[in-house]
Amino acid sequence: MKLLLIVPNYHCGGMEAIQGPLMNLGPLFIASAAVKNGHEVKYLDLTIDNIKYNECDSIFDLYSPDIIGVAARTHLVSEAIRVIHYCKQRNPKLLTLMGGIHATFMFQEIMSHHIEVDYILRYECEETLTLLLDALEKGDDLSQIPNLVWRKDDIVVNDMAQEVTDVNKYRPAYELIPDWNKYRNHFTGDLSAVVQFSRGCVQKCSYCSQWKFWNSWHSCSPKVFADEIEMLYKTYGIRYFLLADEAPQIDSELWEEVLNEIISKKLKGAYFATCARVKDVQRDKNIMSKYRAAGFMIILFGAEFTNNKTLNDVAKEQKFEEIHDAIQLVKVNGMIAMVDIMLGWNNDESEFFQTLREVPNLNADFICYFWTTPYPWTKSFNELTERYNLDGNYENYNFMTFFGNSSNQRSLEKELIKFYFWYHFKIKHIYNGFFTGSKMRRRIFRSIYFQGLIKSIVQIFPIMSSIIHQNKTVVNSMYYGSDKKSWSL
């Protein structure tokens, strides 16, 4: 069968504005499974060219797919439905499917409200997709395909798969990307790729759903991963690699093998960014030199909160003091330490300002703030629902929208921008970032710094957006207040 995988067009600022365009890895994983089974697959990223779904007629006509699949993370789901609806109107015989974390947990809502969605693939779905395509091609029964939601006389929910996906077997179909030049990061202008060593997380933070979606932590072999890195480096000229893993260092032995394998490839000029748990970095303090030798330059910690009680309440399994120590380990070893901080958890303005006062004690190179996003399937959802005014617009579930009513988001973000300037313009901070460490570290630090500066200027003076941003995007600023239109499923 001919399968067209579509990434809907959506921009929400945040890391995209600082880091540059990033590919959606999920469709590339399932594409590899379909290709292995002899199906024809095309990958279409509407975001990268800022193409609206109703501007793709020529592409649809040229490819003439039998079935389309659309990515459906929560902030993308509304646009994904629009894409499917439009395609179905053009060709009523076209089959449509959705997958991803939102569709996995909200399948009943989607299927009940949108008859144009024919199938939903839940959880890890490489095997599900291949079985579905084979069955549709042969006209076989669909009832035994695991993780599939479909329609008969009513909505049918098949049983879950008993085993996790063999991550060695299915690697991303990078060969389907039509133009790598469109994926250049803003740090250095290098070609970039999103890669993944492992899936899942062993922590069960109450606000997060990654551990729930992947069911368990599992990975490919270190050699398979390193070989993939080498292939991207040599075949496509990729120099910047962003790990999509939630926590790739969980298995200490496997992770050290990953570092050794990458080091053995001698990929000159390659550099990496990865998330890391505080406890894993503390555990690895004696092999931090291997992180650096392998090319890891940016380490992002999910600090989330500065209050130890809140960290404990959400099952984060770390303390504020431990976050500080892990950050210093990263910096001492010549890497850039970034932290994510979650704002608005308690819908309390005093908590907001308390966080701004305490975060500098972490002494991170860069601080990234995002607003609490209450996903419906998380443990925290009921608790957060009592605090927030949820507007029913899934497009706002993007970490850039404040759902609380304690203060106006715009006014809080003005204070946040003031803090950014105060924190990052300290003479000592600028000197340490611009003039110390390796040439690569200085180069990346300066670029992140100036990208952040530009972003902050746009936040304070929105009129500058039209000058700085040459390509029109759906959302160019952090603030969503004027764009909160109701579009619920």
What is the predicted pLDDT for the residue at 158? 95
Percent of the chain with pLDDT over 70: 91
Q: Which of 213-217, 264-268, 288-292, 310-314 is least confident?
A: 213-217
Mean pLDDT of 443-462: 74
**Is-contact 11 47, C-beta < 8 A?**
yes
CATH code given to domain 184-468? 3.80.30.20
**CA dihedral (102, 108, 114, 116) positive or negative:** positive
Q: Is 310 exposed, middle or buried (0-12, 13-18, 19+ CB in 10 A)?
A: middle
What is the predicted pLDDT for the residue at 479? 34
What is the predicted pLDDT for the residue at 462? 58
Mean pLDDT of 392-421: 86
In this predicted structure, the answer to whether residue 95 has a pLDDT above a threshold of 50 is: yes
pLDDT-based confidence at 289, cuts 50/70/90?
A: very high
Percent helix, strand and coil across the chain, each rounded to 5?
45, 15, 40
Residue type, 444: I
pLDDT-based confidence at 450, cuts 50/70/90?
A: confident
What is the average pLDDT score of the chain? 87
* CA dist list (Å): 190 to 158, 184, 400: 44, 5, 27
In this predicted structure, the answer to whether residue 102 has a pLDDT above a threshold of 60 is: yes
In this predicted structure, the answer to whether residue 461 has a pLDDT above a threshold of 80 is: no
What is the predicted pLDDT for the residue at 407? 84
Distance CA 72, CA 103 (A): 6
The continuous run of DSSP H or E covering 276 comes out as strand 271-276
In this predicted structure, the answer to whether residue 420 has a pLDDT above a threshold of 90 is: no
Q: What tokens does 477 get? A: 């600023």
Distance CA 50, CA 56 (A): 11
Distance CA 249, CA 243 (A): 11
What is the predicted pLDDT for the residue at 215? 82
In this predicted structure, the answer to whether residue 382 has a pLDDT above a threshold of 60 is: yes
Query: What would the pLDDT profile of 185-194 be if each residue is shown by its tens digit?
Result: 887 889 999 9
* CA dist list (Å): 107 to 77, 101, 128: 11, 10, 15
Beta bridge partners of 267: none
In this predicted structure, the answer to whether residue 366 has a pLDDT above a threshold of 50 is: yes
Distance CA 190, CA 194 (A): 13
Using the structure block, give the residue that is written with the tokens 């480096």: 233
Q: Which of 116-120, 158-162, 463-467 is least confident?
A: 463-467
What is the predicted pLDDT for the residue at 489? 40
In this predicted structure, the answer to whether residue 139 has a pLDDT above a threshold of 70 is: yes
Which listed CATH number (3.40.50.280, 3.30.300.30, 2.40.40.20, 3.20.20.70) goes with 2-157? Answer: 3.40.50.280
Query: What would the pLDDT profile of 140-181 be if each residue is shown by its tens digit?
Result: 999 999 999 999 989 999 999 878 888 999 999 999 999 999
Mean pLDDT of 398-403: 86
Residue 174 neighbours by CB distance under 10 Å = 22
Mean pLDDT of 411-433: 87
Mean pLDDT of 111-120: 94
Mean pLDDT of 472-483: 35
**Fold match between domain 2-157 and domain 184-468:** no
- List the one residue out of 199, 204, 188, 107 whose CA is nearest residue 150: 107
Percent of the chain with pLDDT over 90: 59
Mean pLDDT of 79-101: 92
What is the predicted pLDDT for the residue at 127? 92
Query: What would the pLDDT profile of 57-75 be if each residue is shown by its tens digit?
Result: 777 778 889 999 998 888 8
**Is-contact 171 5, C-beta < 8 A?**
no
* Domain residue extents for the chain: 2-157, 184-468
In this predicted structure, the answer to whether residue 290 has a pLDDT above a threshold of 60 is: yes
Range list of β-strands (E), 271-320:
271-276, 296-304
In this predicted structure, the answer to whether residue 11 has a pLDDT above a threshold of 80 is: no
In this predicted structure, the answer to whether residue 217 has a pLDDT above a threshold of 80 is: yes
Distance CA 277, CA 208 (A): 14
Query: What would the pLDDT profile of 318-331 be if each residue is shown by its tens digit?
Result: 999 999 999 999 99
- List the one residue out of 8, 138, 135, 115 whose CA is nearest residue 69: 8
What is the predicted pLDDT for the residue at 405? 84
